Structure formats: structure tokens, C-alpha cells
């Protein structure tokens, strides 16, 4: 990996977290499940990307070279391996397949609006009887929190989407503090609720996919704040431990609406993030024309 692309850092850190969890947390994750997830994601990504490339060449021939975007598939597979648990390899194959296909099917003007790993997790939970997610697998973060924050901060700095994580965590923390004060609980309860390693990983890596979240900063802030409130409600009112994943899945389509209300330049992996003020007109023309000249991202 050249590490000129922010996705290279994501692959490195997610691989590190996966090895760390297996080595220090005694997870019951079988190595073959990781292999199945990675192999399936890469194969489906390559086939779907090639099919899309052939269709585009047939309808609008260009000199653009075929790009299977293997980084994208690998990040999705690592995310599934970190969060999804199942006893059957067929379930992991289903999750990885639907996760990748969601990028090619659930699109609006060339932009997918579901986080692929999140889509695969929800699909496995709904369509099978042997899939589950263990949000408490990391326990209280402790020193893991510093590692997650440092790794996530580096990636978010490179893609310019740190505001999304900050807004989500701040809103979620505020909701928790209001509840705890209303019930007369100590601040230890508040701290413990925010010390979930899975929560930090979700906020820093899954929630901030720059290719599926709103483009404009004001839209991202509103979007992530709503997800935090819905997550809080699902977890505290309905006692749904997987509320963060359901909240992101159910509210992901808001990206389409918010991009229409607050149009802004679309994120590109090819060049460093640019400001909306400096190039909004050029990018808006590209979006109106339905142009999607960039590799997909999980």
C-alpha cells in the first residue's frame, strides 16, 4: 500500500483492530470467516465493477481505465469481520455479497447512500437466523479508546469528515447526560455508557464513510445528530443493543434528501478534499450530469 490514499490507513487500522480483538479479547471469531468475508467481497466487487464498466463503455464510451476498487471491498470485509458474528460461512457470504451489491444498486445520481458494511450486517440479521452483533465485545475502551481515537482521527483528518463523528458523539453524550440527571444517576453511568469500544469504532469509521454521507457540512452535522438521537431512543426506550446499526441503516436515505437541500461538491479519493466555496459550481455541474468518475467506497 502506498498510503497516499486514506483508505490505505483504514485497511491498516481495521486489520490492526481485528488482530487486537482476536489476540486480547478472546473473541470466538473463526479465521475462516475472515477469509470468506474478504474473498466474497473482493470477488463480488470485481464482478459488479466490471459489469458496470462494460455497460458504461457500451452506452457512453470513454478512455477511462477499469478500476475494480479492491480497497473498497477489503474495507467492507474487514468491517463485517469486526462486527458480524455467525456460525455458518454461507451467512457471511450473504452479508458480504449484499454489502457490496448495495453500492451498485442503492444509488442516486451515481452516489450510494448506504454504508455497505452496515447494509450487510442488517441484511444478515433480517434474512438469517444465525447472525448476531455483539456491541459489547470491546468492553470499556480504556487504552483502546486512545488507539481508536488516534487511528480514526488520522483517517478523518485526511478525508475532512471529523465533524460527523464529533457531532454524533456530542449529541449522544448530551442525550445520555440529560437522562442520567433526570434519573439522578452518577456520572460514572454516563462515562461507562460512552466507553463502549464498538461505539467509538462506529463513530470514527462506519459513520464517516465520505462516499455515502451528505456532502455539505451543515447536512452532515444535522444527519449525524439525528442518528445519535435515534440511536439513543432505540437503546434506552426499546433496549435494542444494536440500535446504532439500525439507526444508520434507517436514516441513510436522508443523504439523498440532504444533498438536494444543501448541494455541495462530492467527495473524491483522487484529490485532497476541496472546499465547497472554491469549486461548488464545477462539482454541481458534474452531479447534475450524473457523472461518477470516482471509485466507490464502503
Element (H, E) at 33: helix 31-59
CB–CB of 212/255 below 8 Å?
A: yes
Distance CA(89)–CA(34), nearest Å, equals: 10
Distance CA(215)–CA(160), nearest Å, equals: 11
Over the stretch 192-202, which tens digit does the pLDDT of each residue have?
888 777 888 88
Residue 273: predicted pLDDT: 46
Distance CA(100)–CA(178), nearest Å, equals: 39
Query: What is the longest distance spanned by two Cα atoms in the chain?
Result: 65
Residue 8: predicted pLDDT: 84
Which residue, chain included where needed, has cell 457471511?
Answer: 92
Residue 163: predicted pLDDT: 92
The ranges of the chain with pLDDT < 70 are 1-4, 25-28, 136-158, 270-298
* SS3 state of residue 43: helix
pTM across the whole model: 0.85
Over the stretch 259-282, which tens digit does the pLDDT of each residue have?
999 999 998 775 444 444 344 433
Residue 14: predicted pLDDT: 86
Residue 149: predicted pLDDT: 63
> What's the gap between Cα 244 and its chain centre?
11
The domains of the chain are located at: 6-133, 143-288
Residue 130: predicted pLDDT: 93
Residue 31: predicted pLDDT: 85
Residue 134: predicted pLDDT: 76
Amino acid at each position: 500500500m502506498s498510503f497516499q490514499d486514506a483508505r490505505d490507513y483504514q485497511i491498516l487500522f481495521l486489520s490492526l483492530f481485528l488482530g487486537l480483538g482476536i489476540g486480547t479479547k478472546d473473541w470466538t471469531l473463526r479465521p475462516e470467516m475472515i477469509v470468506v468475508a474478504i474473498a466474497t467481497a473482493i470477488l463480488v466487487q470485481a464482478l459488479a465493477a466490471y459489469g458496470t464498466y462494460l455497460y458504461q463503455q457500451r452506452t457512453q464510451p470513454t478512455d477511462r481505465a477499469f478500476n475494480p476498487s479492491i480497497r473498497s471491498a477489503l474495507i467492507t470485509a474487514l468491517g463485517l469481520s469486526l462486527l458480524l458474528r455467525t456460525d455458518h460461512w454461507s451467512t457471511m457470504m450473504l452479508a458480504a455479497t449484499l454489502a457490496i451489491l448495495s453500492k451498485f444498486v442503492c444509488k442516486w445520481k451515481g452516489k450510494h447512500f448506504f454504508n455497505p458494511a452496515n447494509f450487510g450486517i442488517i441484511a444478515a440479521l433480517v434474512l438469517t437466523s444465525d447472525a448476531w452483533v455483539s456491541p459489547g465485545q470491546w468492553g470499556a475502551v480504556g487504552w483502546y479508546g486512545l488507539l481508536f481515537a488516534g487511528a480514526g482521527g488520522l483517517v478523518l483528518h485526511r478525508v475532512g469528515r471529523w465533524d460527523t463523528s464529533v457531532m454524533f458523539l456530542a449529541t449522544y453524550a448530551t442525550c445520555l447526560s440529560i437522562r442520567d440527571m433526570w434519573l439522578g444517576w452518577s456520572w460514572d453511568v454516563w462515562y461507562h455508557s460512552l466507553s463502549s469500544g464498538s461505539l467509538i469504532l462506529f463513530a470514527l469509521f462506519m459513520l464517516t464513510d465520505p462516499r455515502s454521507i451528505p456532502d455539505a457540512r451543515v447536512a452532515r452535522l444535522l444527519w449525524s445528530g439525528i442518528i445519535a438521537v435515534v440511536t439513543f431512543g432505540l437503546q434506552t426506550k426499546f433496549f435494542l443493543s444494536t440500535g446504532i446499526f439500525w439507526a444508520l441503516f434507517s436514516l441513510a436515505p436522508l443523504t439523498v434528501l440532504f444533498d438536494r437541500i444543501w448541494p455541495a461538491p462530492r467527495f473524491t479519493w483522487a484529490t485532497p478534499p476541496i472546499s465547497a466555496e472554491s469549486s461548488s459550481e464545477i462539482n454541481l455541474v458534474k452531479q447534475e450530469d450524473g457523472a461518477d468518475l470516482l471509485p466507490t467506497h464502503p
